[in-house]
A and B are shown apart, each in its own frame.
Chain A
Amino acid sequence: DAKTTQPTSMDCAEGRAANLPCNHSTISGNEYVYWYRQIHSQGPQYIIHGLKNNETNEMASLIITEDRKSSTLILPHATLRDTAVYYCIVSFDSWGKLQFGAGTQVVVTP
C-alpha cells in the first residue's frame, strides 16, 4: 500500500475552515484515499473517501489533485468537537485493511 505523509499537528479557529493536507506520491491507479478521525480514547470514525473525483458529504470535502499524489480534507466550519487526530490512508487491499500512520492532531480553538 502507498504511504502517506501528513503534518504532525495543526490548529484551527472555531468557525473557520480547516484544510488538512496529505501527500501520497506513490499511490497507484486503483487505490482509494480514505480519511478517518479519532477523538481521544474513542474508536476511529470514517469521514470520507475518494478515488479520482472530489467528494463531499455532510462532514467534509475531499479534494484530490489531478495526478492523485496529494489530497486535502476540508472541514468547512470547524467546531470544538472536531478536535481529533485525522488519518489519511490509501488502500489497495480489496478487503480494505487499513494502514494507519500517526495522523494529524487537529486542535480547534475558540
Chain B
Amino acid sequence: DGGITQSPKYLFRKEGQNVTLSCEQNLNHDAMYWYRQDPGQGLRLIYYSQIVNDFQKGDIAEGYSVSREKKESFPLTVTSAQKNPTAFYLCASQWGQGLNTEAFFGQGTRLTVV
C-alpha cells in the first residue's frame, strides 16, 4: 500500500542525547514536512523539503536538523540543543508544487524526554 510511515511510534530519550525520527514515503511525492504538536495545540512547522538535497527551516527549526538524501526519506534529528523536545512529531508529504494538492500525514512519533 502507498503511504507515509513514521517510526518509532513511541520514543524515549535521556536529556542531552540526540535522537533521530524516521519518515519514509512511497507516494513519489516531492515535498516533505516535519511538524511538532504540543498538547491541545495545532501543528507547527519545523522543516520542509521541496526536492532531494534541499530543505528549508520552518517556524521552529532551532534544536532540530534534517537531511533529504533520498526522495523517499526525510529523517528528523532532535538535538540536545532543543530545550523542550517532549512532543508529538508528525511527518507529511505532498505531490510537488501547487496549491491544489493535499498533504498526507504519517501516524506520528511521540517523543518523551526522561
Contacts and interface: CB of A to CB of B under 8 A. Distances in A.
Contact of A95 (B50, B88, B90, B108): B50
A100 B42 contact: yes
Contact residue range for chain A? Answer: 20 to 34
Contacts of B33: 97-98
Contacts of A30: 99
Contacts of A97: 33, 45, 48, 58
A96 B90 contact: no
A44 interface: yes
A78 B97 CA distance: 33
Contacts of B110: 41
A45 interface: yes
Contacts of A44: 43, 90, 92, 103, 105
Nearest to A35: B102
Contacts of B2: none
Contacts of A99: 45
Contacts of B102: 34, 46, 49
B99 A43 contact: no
Interface residues of B, number: 30
Nearest to A98: B103
A101 B44 CA distance: 9
Nearest to B104: A46
27 contacts: A30-B99, A31-B99, A36-B103, A41-B88, A43-B92, A43-B105, A43-B106, A43-B107, A44-B103, A46-B103, A46-B104, A49-B100, A87-B42, A93-B99, A94-B97, A94-B99, A95-B50, A96-B31, A96-B94, A97-B58, A98-B43, A98-B45, A100-B42, A100-B44, A101-B42, A102-B40, A102-B41
Given A45-B105, A93-B99, A98-B103, 15 more contacts: A31-B99, A34-B102, A41-B88, A42-B108, A43-B6, A43-B92, A43-B105, A91-B99, A94-B97, A94-B98, A96-B94, A98-B43, A98-B45, A100-B35, A102-B42
